Amino acid sequence: MPEDRNLVKSVLKALELLEIMCKEKHCGVRDLSQKVGLTRSTVSRMVTTLERAGFVEQEHERGKYQATLKLFELGNEVIQHLNIREKAYPLMQQLSHETEETVNLTVLRGNQIMYIFKIDSPHLLKSSAPVGSRPPVHCNASGKVILAYLPEDKKKMFLPLELHPFTPNTIISLTELEAELARVRANGYAVDSEEWSLNTKALAAPVWDYDGKILAALTIAGPSVRMNAQRLGDLIQPLLKAARELSAKLGYREPTQDDWSTRRV
């Protein structure tokens, strides 16, 4: 069988090493070298790269490696996102039917937002970002609502080094962005007023996981000609209601007065 020129052999070998270290503990470079048929120096570089990426760690016994829980964590994220799409579908369908606008579900991916599911508006003139598209986190409603509720240390990790302008309305100052995120927390939702794309406006609300952490954002987006101030105001409560219902389906329980009393004690 002819070789597939699209394959990167070194990546396949690195994944093979990772699979071995997931199944076996205390793996030395020499043993790994024999198992995958590569020189020790090549295996050493691959393992060091996997260690730098957080997939393996070196044990106290010199030269021995084992897999970390990073794959487990990533697997849990995949399960969550599969689960969230399934649970979000009827709520998104109902919200789109009620508002006649496009409804999106997005998650954080590095310093970008990724669209993982959408229900299109029935109108010919509509906002429709393709599933899989990844706009920068700082210039859209989804990104701002997720950033607003991240812990401070994580928020700094996901902010781009430079806030690039995409339209005249894009926030390009960290000070202004922090003020905007404070408004998002105060209101409970975020607004995109043509910050990522001209002629498109959007609202986003947070979706929480069972542990009370921000998991995703639910958005309503539409063309600016329909999304005037009154229209945006009318869409806020339906969006927040759908986001709360989706969070509840994912196991989130909103804090009660008793919870806050307990926390103060």
Which helix (H) or strand (E) element contains residue 223? Answer: strand 214-223
Helix axes 229-249, 70-99, angle to 10 degrees: 130
Distance from C-alpha of 173 to C-alpha of 192, rounded to nearest angstrom? 16
Distance from C-alpha of 209 to C-alpha of 66, rounded to nearest angstrom? 30
Distance from C-alpha of 226 to C-alpha of 147, rounded to nearest angstrom? 27
How do the domains of the chain map onto residue ranges? 9-68, 73-249
**CATH for the stretch 9-68:** 1.10.10.10
Radius of gyration of the chain (CA): 23
- Residue 247: what pLDDT? 93
- Residue 201: what pLDDT? 93
1 DSSP assignment: -
Distance from C-alpha of 122 to C-alpha of 200, rounded to nearest angstrom? 16
Q: Which CATH number is 73-249's, of 2.40.50.140, 3.40.50.720, 2.30.40.10, 3.30.450.40?
A: 3.30.450.40
What is the arrangement of strands in the sheet containing 214-223, beginning at the earlier edge strand? 112-119, 102-109, 214-223, 200-208, 190-193
User: Hey, what are 157's tokens?
Assistant: 């990790």
Question: Using an 8 Å Cβ cutoff, are 126 and 102 in contact?
Answer: yes
pLDDT mean by block of 10 residues, the chain; 265 residues: 69 89 84 90 91 84 77 69 81 94 92 90 87 88 94 81 87 90 95 90 93 92 92 95 92 63 34
- Find, among 126, 92, 129, the residue nearest to 114 by Cα: 129
> Side-chain half-sphere of 78: how many Cα atoms within 13 Å?
6
pTM, two decimals, is 0.68
Distance from C-alpha of 12 to C-alpha of 50, rounded to nearest angstrom? 13
